Chains A and B, each alone.
Chain A
Amino acid sequence: MPSAIPILPEGQLAPQLARYDAALRSRRLKSFAVALVIGVCIVLSAVMGEVKPAVFVQNSGRLGDYFWNIAPVLRPDHLGGDLAEWYWNLDHWLKLLWDTLLIAYLGTLLGGVGAFILCFLASANLVRSPFIRLTARRFLEFCRTVPELVFALLFVVAFGLGPLPGVLALAIHTMGALGKLFAEVVENIDMKPVDGATAAGATWVQTVRFAVVPQVNSNFASYALLRFEINVREASVMGFVGAGGIGQDLIEAIRKFYYSDVSAILLLIIATVMIIDLVTERLRHRLIGMESGR
């Protein structure tokens, strides 16, 4: 079947083609400019970052060797004995892992409570005074911009070694991160209940308690669970600076080249993180289901 393709006469076609070429050329030029800027940044960064590809290629075998070395010796004929040797310190590691989870829990709880108190002050729809609102916002921003580990380093000096500085560092960072998210949730609520409570003569605290909190608490709980997940990961490295948890044994194993210990602890951490991810995901889906079922 012959298909009919209408072809414009030459006089009409030429300017169209020229316009198409020009559009294409300007797009290509733009892409080229972006690529050039990125290329310059890469070269600058490579110089600053002391990237030496030759050395890396030369040493890249060592990365493979490292993972080969940390892999445990497992022979099928006496698997039980090999496993027992690999996880020779399991009781101690499980206790440290449990400590890590508790550090993450306490950090999330304390930080969540702090964020809960501050988020209402940082919300534009509840607080008219820009001074209070901006102060609360800047404070939360500071708390989340300084990394946990920097707080942990400072707190280890002030409070001494142990889980206490870890809990506090996580709590402060969590307060900053959750405070921002909570404030965003609060700013997106339905304002009618708030107007109703205000019209009925409620004080500010009563308004928050009866008009705002019922709207936001399942969202807050969902964000707090998500943060708990992140905090478990963070708590696993708090031990690097002496702030408790499994990190202290991990850094020792890596630094002193106790190869099989490294893989044993890493696997424990990965398994824990995955289990926590699964559990919190379930819980969050249930919370979100509750929210939409309303």
Chain B
Amino acid sequence: MSDPSAAPRARISPAPGDVARLAAAYPAALDPGIGPKLQAIASIGFAVLLAIYAGWQLGLDFGRLTSGIGQLLHFITLMMPPDPGTQLPLYIHALGETLAIAFLGTLLGAAIAFPFGFLAAKTVIPNIFAHFMVRRVLDTVRGIDKLIWALIYVTVVGLGPFAGILAIATSSIGEFGKLFSEAVEALDRKPVEGVTAAGGSKLEAVRFGMLPQVLPVLASQLLYYFESNARQSTIVGIVGAGGLGLHLAEQIRVLEWNKVSFLILMMLVMVAVIDFISSRLRFAIIGRNAGTDQ
């Protein structure tokens, strides 16, 4: 409406009486009052105050932040171009190790979690106590980060990718157990009842009534976790459990920035390729609509 000389436009303006009537009918629409606004201000204020307290408690220092950012930019210029130097074969081998850790860790975790998934499902084991215990054990396993498991396994089986496989497998048990049991609980009871009605035993009911239903769901979850574990297995090396992380931590420590950027690039490419392949496979298994696309 900046130019009043322009062609007249039709404006719909309610008659004064209408405005009063509408205001009386919907008081909250025209004047929501101070309540919601106050609530929003209070929650934002609380978040900011807590952040300030956190900054003070952790001793965060603005000067260090700015000088650090300067340093970081300097490192980024040093990272160009990414260059493996003479260590390319070593890094390719580490990449293979990383893939092996992710693959075997996921598979082993799923294989061990598979029976737990049925044990932790209310519909299979009606005993509340047993199912509660299994769930709590799975929760505990899940509460410990992969890296902590890796560290523990390194002290038990020694340095190397095998410790990484065990670490990924252990924390996958917790995650898969929960997901599997939810998948089992969500399935359709009718085939199970059918098998039971035809005289099948409890085990046969699981094999022929439940398994065909849950298998595609489980397979797609397996692939999904393979993607996520591929990311995780790049870092278990930081504590000595094999793979790319080992070299990455080492090269950062000796400030070989070209190699650092090359290793990060390798990780990114590996993750992208795995994501691509596994999302293809997942769609093939469960259909395009059901998947959580990346």
Residue of chain A at shortest CB distance from B57: A102
A5-13, A71-79, A122-130, A266-274: which lies at the B interface? A266-274
Q: Could you tell me the distance between the alpha carbons of A56 and B163 in the complex, rounded to whole angstroms?
A: 10
Binding site for B on A (CB under 8 A): 38, 41-42, 44-52, 55-56, 59, 62-63, 66, 98-99, 102-103, 105-106, 109, 142, 145-147, 149-150, 153-155, 157-160, 162-165, 167, 233-234, 236-237, 240-241, 244, 250-251, 254-255, 257, 266, 269-270, 273-274
Q: Could you tell me the distance between the alpha carbons of A68 and B2 in the complex, rounded to whole angstroms?
A: 80
| B152→A160 contact, CB < 8 A | no
Q: List chain B residues, Cβ under 8 A from A56.
A: 157, 162
A/B interface sample: 11 pairs, CB < 8 A: A45-B103, A46-B100, A48-B97, A49-B165, A56-B162, A105-B51, A149-B245, A162-B58, A165-B68, A240-B238, A269-B143
Q: List chain B residues, Cβ under 8 A from A63.
A: 153, 156-157
| B268→A233 contact, CB < 8 A | no
- Given contacts A45-B99, A106-B55, A266-B144, are A150 and B61 in contact (CB under 8 A)? no
Instruction: Identify which of B61, B71, B242, B268 contacts A146 (C-beta below 8 A).
Output: B268
Q: List chain B residues, Cβ under 8 A from A42.
A: 103-104, 107
| A150→B60 contact, CB < 8 A | no
| A48→B161 contact, CB < 8 A | yes
- A188–chain B nearest beta-carbon distance, Å: 13
Q: List chain B residues, Cβ under 8 A from A269.
A: 143-144, 148
Q: List chain A residues, Cβ under 8 A from B148.
A: 236-237, 250, 266, 269
| B145→A237 contact, CB < 8 A | yes
| A149→B104 contact, CB < 8 A | no
Contacting residues of chain B (50-75) with chain A, CB-CB under 8 angstroms: 50-51, 53-55, 57-61, 64-65, 68-69, 71-72, 75
Q: Could you tell me the distance between the alpha carbons of A153 and B61 in the complex, rounded to whole angstroms?
A: 19
Q: A62-B157, A147-B235, A254-B151 are in contact. List 13 more A-B contacts (CB 8 A).
A: A45-B103, A46-B100, A105-B50, A145-B268, A147-B267, A149-B238, A150-B235, A155-B72, A159-B72, A163-B60, A236-B148, A250-B148, A273-B143
B179-187, B203-211, B247-255: which lies at the A interface? B247-255
| A44→B100 contact, CB < 8 A | yes
- A101–chain B nearest beta-carbon distance, Å: 9
| A157→B255 contact, CB < 8 A | yes
- A110–chain B nearest beta-carbon distance, Å: 8
| A103→B143 contact, CB < 8 A | no
- B139–chain A nearest beta-carbon distance, Å: 7
